[in-house]
Amino acid sequence: MRRTPRAGHGRVKPAGEAVRRPVHSCRVLVDGTERALEMNLAESPLAWLALRKGRDGAPLIAPAQLAAGERLRCDFTRAGLTPRVTTNWSAAGRGGGIEAFSDVVLAAKARVNAALAAVGPELSGVLLDVCCFLKGLEAVEQERGWPARTGKVVLGLGLDRLAAHYGLASVATGRRAVAPRAWRAEAGGDG
């Protein structure tokens, strides 16, 4: 007697279906132009926060904050700043100096440095931990000795500054990130 496969068993998956990952799409304004952004939800703590809602029903982080954090992570990865688990022997015997880096790597590193400088030293560590090293907020709070749930507030402030640096705004809210302003003395004043 021949057995027939049960539903879902014995079916050949089309190419690409086996590697499907949950993807989150959002629309953001980048320098006045609306763009679609897709991220892999399985690996980002920011994506987890973006899918969760607060008591007011709004997402814990806005789409512009998510886009800013993912953009920082992309540049961080492109710059080769992620820690290695094993030794890289490919550069052995070739000098490994500055000439070994491509223009893409150097440009990405410059973008990461500019973004972290724009955010400031107070908030850049949290952004690096959560966005780039993919640590959860509980782990960050524990490492830094912060009270519970303060990491979300500090991360939100950092992501706001990062979104302002990148010129991102949420399409849903229509809010434009505001760049910080410097206080200056009046021209011709007493000073």
Helix (H, G, I), strand (E, B) or coil at 161: helix
The Cα-based distances of 146 to 59, 60, 117, 141, 152 in angstroms read: 23, 19, 23, 5, 11
pLDDT of 27 higher than 80: no
Lowest mean pLDDT among 32-46, 64-78, 127-141: 32-46
Question: Does any domain span residue 143?
Answer: yes
Question: Does any domain span residue 70?
Answer: yes
Question: Does any domain span residue 7?
Answer: no
pLDDT greater at residue 134 or residue 34? 134
Range of the domain at 60: 23-81+101-170
Helices (H) and strands (E) in the chain, counts: 6, 3
- Mean pLDDT score across all residues of the chain: 75
- What is the DSSP pairing of strand 33-40 with strand 168-170? unpaired
Helix (H, G, I), strand (E, B) or coil at 39: strand
Question: Does any domain span residue 158?
Answer: yes
Question: Does any domain span residue 187?
Answer: no
Question: Does any domain span residue 179?
Answer: no
Per-residue pLDDT, 83: 76
Question: Does any domain span residue 160?
Answer: yes
The angle formed by the CA atoms of residues 86, 91 and 93, to the nearest 5 degrees, is 125
Number of domains in the chain: 1
Per-residue pLDDT, 31: 55
Chain Cα centroid distance, residue 178: 19
* Relative orientation angle of helices 150-166 and 63-78, to the nearest 10 degrees: 80
Question: Does any domain span residue 165?
Answer: yes
